[in-house]
Structure 1
């Protein structure tokens, strides 16, 4: 689950990490009041969306008058901002963050993430921070530095110093940086984050180090014990179908094809999508209803899939292990009637009571095609979708 920049900075401040002063605003007049409250002669107005690349997309503006604060906020709020990191139709800007400006001498890059290869939290840093960090990582990977943390000891002083020396920090900036890293590590672990990215981490004109921007992602699997973080979820920033799936507690990822997929198990779902591609089709989604799928879950899955107007056929692939196939078949029949499905439905059942499940489908009187194998199911779904 992603957080907005202003939310991420609030969490940093709870970890005693200084950030630029800023106030979130949901309309242009509130943005002007925020600028007045902050004082000064210049401010930064930042669109709040769950995506990077806002600066290049015109979502971050430095303004030098209250009239400009109002104009920029009005131009951003209520519209979708398209960046290189979000969907083609962009994400809605419902709030802006009005911040004080800082005298910036240098821009650095710093992030914490879970390194799956080493199974540890890793610090990633670069002296080439700012909007072009992706290009730096691609063209000159040697400029990207990494330190992995022992899970028992956390980040060590020698690692902080090594990164500070590599970033050519001196004096107060060196001290600030070495204090900052352990603080960030504690925030990362305490909030079950999967990503904490600061880009840029700035060195100010008076040689202090400060997070100018912050992106945070929380591990979804930990939200059950992070209730206060779960309440920060902004479903307007994700696909409507993904938001519905989250409410139904199923795993859904929207894709661009026209064959809706409903499968119990992530590995089986991936195999199903591969076979659809092999047969010349394109999946419209990844939907894993879990190993303990129930008739209610199946009905909810149908509703989510059919929110996508591009779906021309639905392929259901269920392996009955924990749950019996005849129970799932009854759920499918109930769901097709309840949801009033208008597109062809192809079902492949395998496992416990698979024969009985297929018999129930065949005798339902509904336009449901029961397939004997996954390959046949994929082929039928592609044919019907065309």
Structure 2
């Protein structure tokens, strides 16, 4: 689950991470209640779950109340379209009015989990305020990764090493350590998967401030992070993903392609998407139906896929272990009979009860293509998607 910038900063403040003073508004009337307390310039920042807001016109600098009101008017209630949101964009339901900062230098900090070492890592770079991917590609030597032992936690010498890597004055090392400690404590306490501060600003007053923040929470931690999940903004999430969640389908992710995928097992689902790409197509979703041994679960999953206007063909790829292929086949037949999917469908079945599954499909009289193998199924699905 992603947090908005203002939510992330409110959380970081609890862990003594310095952030700019700000006010959140969701309508223009709220300006009148705060305007006497504002010190210009003010940065007007649209609150959406996307990066590259500035490039898309979602961040403006106002030098007076008239400019600020105009920018807030231009942004509130609109859709912000960035390279991360797709053509539809995301709704701007609120804007953050944030004090301007006297910027001397910008740095990059992030804390995430490195699965290859099974530890939290801090990623730091003296090149802040830009895409870290671009830094990694052009100047990989400018990126430092610091592993944190989950028992020992962040140690002072690690903060000093990061300070040296950022070329900070030693007088700032104590500030940096307090910020890094706060970020790490917030990360652990919130079951976060990512905290990114880009940029971490050194002001002309010699203060380090988290100027912009991304914060993501592990969805699996919902049961113990109820307060955080209560502030979740579903308006920023894909409608099909929300519908899948309401149907009890936890492993559906909308993608940009046109071939819907229904697969059992995350590994097979990833391999299925690879096979589609190798065959010249593009998957419209990730969907791991797991050990769904209830036809209604299959019907619900196919309803989600079939309702996606981008889907031009469907590939059902099942290798039955605990999942029974005859149940999958029964669910597919029901979905077709109920008119939930109109797209041409390719089915590949293998494993538990495969003969029963194929018999159910053949006796249904429903139009579909049966694939004998993995690659053949992907090729058939791609062909069907471009007819």
For normalisation by structure 1, the TM-score amounts to 0.91
The equivalent of 1:333 in structure 2 is 333
Contact persistence 1:253–1:287 (CA under 8 A) = yes
Cα displacement (A) at 1:65:
1.7
The equivalent of 1:90 in structure 2 is 89
> What is the correspondence of 1:117-196 to structure 2 with a 5 Å cutoff?
117-131=116-130, 133-170=132-169, 173-196=172-195
The equivalent of 1:236 in structure 2 is 235
Cα displacement (A) at 1:245:
2.6
Which string of whole-angstrom CA distances, capped at 9 and with x for unpartnered residues, describes residues 24-54 of structure 1? 2222333x24652642232111011112222
Of 42-51 and 241-250, more deviation after overlay is shown by 241-250
CA 1:26 to 1:344, structure 2 compared with 1: closer, same or farther past 3 Å? Answer: same
Contact persistence 1:299–1:339 (CA under 8 A) = no
2:27 pairs with 1:27:
yes
Separation in 2, partners of 1:355, 1:372? 13
Q: CA RMSD in A?
A: 2.3
CA 1:109 to 1:316, structure 2 compared with 1: closer, same or farther past 3 Å? Answer: same
Cα displacement (A) at 1:158:
0.8
Cα displacement (A) at 1:192:
1.2
Where structure 2 has 5 or more consecutive residues not aligned to the other structure, the ranges are none
Cα displacement (A) at 1:339:
4.2
> What is the correspondence of 1:186-265 to structure 2 with a 5 Å cutoff?
186-247=185-246, 248-265=248-265
Contact persistence 2:20–2:99 (CA under 8 A) = yes
Corresponding residue SS for 2:180 = helix
Of 374-383 and 113-122, more deviation after overlay is shown by 374-383
Corresponding residue SS for 1:245 = helix
Where structure 1 has 5 or more consecutive residues not aligned to the other structure, the ranges are none
Instruction: Return structure 1 stretches of 4+ with deviation > 4 angstroms.
Output: none
CA 1:41 to 1:269, structure 2 compared with 1: closer, same or farther past 3 Å? Answer: closer
Contact persistence 1:112–1:197 (CA under 8 A) = yes
Which string of whole-angstrom CA distances, capped at 9 and with x for unpartnered residues, describes residues 154-199 of structure 1? 1101111222233333365332112121111111111111111111
CA 1:141 to 1:37, structure 2 compared with 1: closer, same or farther past 3 Å? Answer: farther
Contact persistence 1:38–1:100 (CA under 8 A) = no
Contact persistence 2:126–2:166 (CA under 8 A) = yes
Separation in 2, partners of 1:10, 1:133? 24
Corresponding residue SS for 1:215 = strand
CA 1:329 to 1:189, structure 2 compared with 1: closer, same or farther past 3 Å? Answer: same
Separation in 2, partners of 1:129, 1:256? 30
Separation in 2, partners of 1:253, 1:353? 28
For normalisation by structure 2, the TM-score amounts to 0.91
Contact persistence 2:56–2:81 (CA under 8 A) = yes
Separation in 1, partners of 2:381, 2:170? 65
The equivalent of 1:323 in structure 2 is 323
Separation in 1, partners of 2:95, 2:50? 14
Separation in 1, partners of 2:263, 2:131? 40
Which string of whole-angstrom CA distances, capped at 9 and with x for unpartnered residues, describes residues 47-96 of structure 1? 11112222222221121222211110111122222334442443222211
Of 268-277 and 346-355, more deviation after overlay is shown by 268-277
Cα displacement (A) at 1:285:
2.0
Contact persistence 2:293–2:327 (CA under 8 A) = no
Separation in 1, partners of 2:27, 2:293? 44
Cα displacement (A) at 1:246:
3.1
The equivalent of 1:71 in structure 2 is 70
Separation in 2, partners of 1:134, 1:262? 32
CA 1:46 to 1:351, structure 2 compared with 1: closer, same or farther past 3 Å? Answer: same
The equivalent of 1:13 in structure 2 is 13
CA 1:341 to 1:142, structure 2 compared with 1: closer, same or farther past 3 Å? Answer: closer
2:319 pairs with 1:312:
no
Contact persistence 2:18–2:208 (CA under 8 A) = no
